[in-house]
Amino acid sequence: MRKTNPVRSGLLLLVIGGAVGYGIGLGIDLLISGNLNLAGSVPSAFALLLSVTAFFFGLYGYRGITRGLVWQVVGTLLGAFFITGIRALTGSSNIFGSFFFSEPAWVFGALVGVVSFIFGVGAVDDWMKWARGIDTPEHHEDEPGWEKYFYVSLDHKVIGVQYTVTALFLIVVGGSFALIFRTELAASQLQFLTTTFRLFNQTGPQFYNTLMSLHGIMMIISILLGVSGIMNYVVPMIIGAQDMAFPRLNAFAYWVAVPASVLFLMSLVLGGFDTGWTGYPPLSARAPVGMQMFFLAVFTAGWSSILGSLNVIATIVRMRAKGMIAMRLPIFVWASIATSIIALTATQLIGLSFQLVMFQRLFGLGFFDASKGGNPVLFQHLFWFYSHPAVYVFVLPGLGVISELLPVFVRKPLYGYRWIAMSSLGIALVGFTVWAHHMFTSGMNEYLRVPFMYSTLLVAVPTGVKFFSWVATIWGGKIETPTPMLFVLGAIFVFLIGGLTGPPNAAIALDLHLHDTYWIVGHFHDTIFGGFVFPFFAAIYYWYPKATGRRMNEFWGKVHFWMMIPSFLVLTFGMMRIGLLGMRRRIVDYDPALGFDTTHLIMTIAAFLIGLSVLIFFINFFRSLKHGEEATGNVWNSRSPEWQVPSPMPVHNYEVPFEVVGEPYDYGLEGSKYVEFASPAEVPHLHPPSPAEVESIK
């Protein structure tokens, strides 16, 4: 395998692969439809699949992720041709569809593709062995250097990084989509997404809907991956475990997310889908094939989230260090438990609801088809039963990060530890009972509305406990504000605004005005940024030294923050303002008479500034890998165990186990300690081989 600058050869092959794929697609398209359609879907679909694959081939050679992608491409084509063949044999009327393959062919192909990827990348090798009664070593040692991030590693730290980077990648893609459609929104009337515009068989307005929907869902998936990223990297480390409870399941959970991301991109080229991320039928029952790719992608990514959280719970229950009783858990662990409970259970319902629409499309099962006695509103209940609790999946870890970092930077104990810990569980549990607040205008049974208003408003109470406790923690502290702390404070500020804009939506009559306006869009960008994006950046700046042994550049970190927060506030305040005045969601064009043009223009500029700040973050992130200042010690002077050992973290975390001897956040208490490491003499064996057999059910 060439070691000479892999990135360059990767990019080179990216271009070549894209061109070749495009050519092939064009040829096939020409053969089938007879006319040459340069902006058609088939060429782009092939270009996409081949270029991505080729890139990783150049970067990495034919192994790990490359092998997975190749297998996915082949699997997809085989599966599609299989169905196409069957249709041909059974002499069905339309063997091919408007996107070369027929819809069932695409769906089956995509499914086979995902499974092939899993096998190709090697995420199930060991399980296959166990099934055949063959033992495998408990751990496979990873090769040093960056390569290990591109194949199946069982090390929770590697997997954590893989999750995080994938999440950042999706944020870039989804964010860039946002920038594109924000440019369209900068002024009323259609700028470039006009009715004569054609791309991937979509007119301008259709393409807007696709971009907007993909922006929504890709950002949400990126959050879920980011959440898994932090939890994977941090949780085992701070509870003193060597790894997650089920390392193979952990790897599996990550690797299913990769083909899912590919499916998202495929949905873009296969006609897109114009339903928003909520995919309500009947609209989603009529959308192009892209809809099915979207359903499959979410379904697959959903499994990643389910299995990941299962693993987190098992790890926390079973693998805590000696003496780490419930009330001495690091607060982030409590947040992780609460998050995982939601992700483990509720996620099944979004999978199911999408599955039902898929079957309605494929086999005509009329669940949500009124003309067949189905019920469109039922879908909304199933969907929101997940998708509301999901919003707390986004924020709980973020709020956990806030609570985890605050004491370190104010040098003061976390105020009301128990209350904060319990409030996470409270939010999670109450969060299960509020879903119908998204459906106040949906025409659901009248008597449901008021109870759901009560339950919804109740969530404000535990959330409030967090806020008040944070303020009390900051109060009278000795506050330092390095970059991570800046992002923590920004998170509190932004999430407060987001949170406070929640209760108005819960007040039913008022929501009749607010529903499906940019006010809501503003509400959730604030909650999501405050509850996830800012804490996520804080976490990255904070634990970066732990992972790399270097610090990210402080100056550029501050630039990132001071550029991001004002432009972000401008963006969302603009959203809320025009929303209240009558700006509907999900519209490609707005009535000039409303006079929103200036506001929209400003919002678009703000959006690009956010993008720029993220760009700065990325440059800083990658530059610091080589040039960041050395930081192998306890950079933030924290009490938490992971900082008591040198950075970067050793492969099996702690060579010698530690015991919890005190409270986690006793800053300012003379001579108090949280953890105490056993002297190496007392350690019997570090990690002897033992039958991995036992995991064979997983």
Partner 1 sequence: MIHSQEKSSVLSQGVFIFVYLAVLTALEFLVAISFNSVPLLVVVALIKAALVVYYYMHIYKLSLESEIDEHSYDYKASTNRLGLWLFLVSDSFVFGGLMVMRINLLGLTRPELNQLLGLAVTAVLLISSFFMNRGETLMHQGDRRGFLLNTAITFVLGLGFLLGVVLVEWRLAIHEGMTPDSGPAGAAFFMMTGMHAFHVFTGLILLAIIMANGRRGLYDEQNYPIEAAAVYWHFVDVVWIFFYPALYLIGRLA
Partner 2 sequence: MRHFVIVGILVIVMSVLTYLGLDAAELMPVAASAQADPIDWMWNLQVIAMSFLFALIVVPMFYSLIVFRRRKGDTTDAEHIEGNTTLEITWTVIPLFLVLGFAYLGAVNLSDTLRADPNAMVVKVTGIQWSWIFEYPPDPETGLVVVSDELHLLVDRQILLQMTSSDVIHSFWVPEFRVKQDLVPGRITELRITPTMEGDYKVRCAELCGTSHAYMEKPVVVSSQGEFDTWMSEQLEKAKEAAATPEGSGQLLVAANGCAACHSINGASGIGPTWSGLFGHEVELTDGTTVITDEEYLAESIKDPQAKIVAGFETQLMPTYGFTDEQIANIVAYIKTLR
Q: Which residues bind partner 1 (CB under 8 A)?
A: 131-133, 242, 245-246, 249, 306, 310-311, 313-314, 317-319, 344-349, 351-353, 356, 359-360, 363-367, 372-375, 378, 381-382, 385, 687-688, 690-691, 693-698
The binder of 412, among Cu ion, partner 1, ligand HEA, none, by C-beta within 5 to 8 A per type, is none
- SS3 assignment, position 96: strand
* Listed ranges 16-24, 293-301, 477-485, 509-517: which one lies at the site for ligand HEA (CB under 6 A): 509-517
Q: What is the DSSP letter of 584?
A: B
How far are the Cα atoms of 210, 222, 305 from residue 340, in angstroms, in the given order? 30, 16, 9
355 makes contact with partner 2 (CB under 8 A): no
Nearer to partner 2, 167 or 211 (CB): 211
Q: Which does 314 bind (CB under 5 to 8 A by kind): partner 2, ligand HEA, partner 1, none?
A: partner 1
Task: Decide which of partner 2, Cu ion, ligand HEA, none touches 78; Cβ closer than 5 to 8 Å per partner kind.
Answer: none
| Of 85, 665, 628, 627, nearest in space to 405 by CA | 665
Q: Which CB sits closer to partner 1, 52 or 316?
A: 316
- H-run or E-run covering 397: helix 376-410
The per-residue DSSP string of 626-654 comes to: HHSPB--S-TT---SGGGGSPSSPPTTS-
Question: What, of ligand HEA, Cu ion, partner 2, none, does residue 622 touch, CB below 5 to 8 Å by kind?
Answer: none
524 binds ligand HEA (CB under 6 A): yes
Dihedral sign (CA 332, 338, 342, 343): positive
Closer Cβ to ligand HEA, 578 or 660, answer by number: 578
**Rounded to an integer, what distance in angstroms lies between the CA atom of residue 518 and that of residue 581?**
9
395: partner contacted, choices ligand HEA, Cu ion, partner 1, none (Cβ within 5-8 A by kind): ligand HEA
CB of 132 to partner 1, least distance (A): 8
Contact map string, positions 35 to 54, toward partner 2, x by CB under 8 A: x-------------------
3-class SS of residue 501:
coil
Count of CB atoms within 10 A of residue 324's CB? 23
Binding letters toward ligand HEA, positions 431-450, x by CB under 6 A: ------xx------------
277 interacts with, out of Cu ion, partner 2, ligand HEA, none, CB within 5 to 8 A per kind: ligand HEA
3-state secondary structure of 56: helix
Sign for the pseudo-dihedral over CA of 691, 693, 694, 695: positive
Cβ neighbourhood burial of 68 (10 Å; 0-12, 13-18, 19+): buried
Q: Which helix (H) or strand (E) holds 100?
A: strand 100-101
Interaction mask 290-329, ligand HEA, x per CB under 6 A: ----------------------------------------
Residue 73: how many other CB atoms lie within 10 Å: 22
Applying CB under 8 A, the span of 17-25, 261-269, 388-396, 475-483 interacting with partner 2 comes to 475-483
Q: Is 525 in the site for Cu ion (CB under 5 A)?
A: no
- Examine residue 425 and tell whether it contacts partner 2 (CB under 8 A): no
The beta strands (E) that lie in 193-256 are given as none
Check binding of 184 to partner 2 (CB under 8 A).
no
CA–CA gap between residue 109 and residue 112 (Å, rounded): 5
Check residue 392 for interaction with partner 2 (CB under 8 A): no
Region of residue 500 (left: phi > 0; alpha: psi -120 to 50; beta: else): alpha
- C-beta closer to ligand HEA: residue 395 or 474: 395
Q: Least separation, in Å, of the C-beta of 583 and partner 2?
A: 9
Residue 337-376 contact track with Cu ion, rule CB under 5 A, x = bound: ----------------------------------------
Find which of Cu ion, partner 2, partner 1, none residue 553 binds, CB within 5 to 8 Å per kind. Answer: none
Q: What is the dihedral of CA 9, 13, 15, 18, to 10 degrees?
A: -160
Contact criterion met (CB below 8 Å) for 170 and 265: no
In the bound complex, what is the minimum distance in angstroms from residue 339's beta carbon to ligand HEA?
A: 12
d(CA 214, CA 267): 9
Please identify which residue in 129, 558, 584, 652 interacts with partner 2, judged by CB under 8 A: 584
Q: Does 459 bind ligand HEA (CB under 6 A)?
A: yes
As measured in angstroms, the least distance from the Cβ of 232 to ligand HEA is: 19
CA atoms within 13 A of residue 481's CA, in its CB half-sphere: 9
| CB-nearer residue toward ligand HEA: 161 or 614 | 614
Residue 150: closest CA among 263, 71, 227, 142: 142
524 binds, among Cu ion, ligand HEA, partner 1, none (CB under 5 to 8 A by kind): ligand HEA
* 442 counts as binding partner 2 under rule CB under 8 A: yes
Closest by alpha carbon to 247, among 324, 340, 333, 319? 319
Q: CB-hemisphere CA count at 13 Å for 604? A: 17
Which residue is listed with tokens 């707390």?
392
Q: What's the chain's Rg over C-alpha atoms?
A: 25
Is the sign of the CA dihedral 581, 582, 587, 590 positive or negative?
negative
Written as six digits, the tokens of 56 are 């990783």
3-state secondary structure of 698: coil
Among 388, 551, 600, 639, binds Cu ion (CB under 5 A): 388
Closest distance of CB 134 from partner 1, Å? 10
Residues that bind ligand HEA (CB under 6 A): 171-172, 175-176, 178-179, 182, 212-213, 215-216, 219-220, 223, 276-278, 391, 394-395, 437-438, 456, 459-460, 463-464, 467, 499-500, 502-503, 505-506, 511, 514-515, 520-521, 523-525, 527-528, 531, 533, 571, 585-586, 607-608, 610-612, 614-615, 618
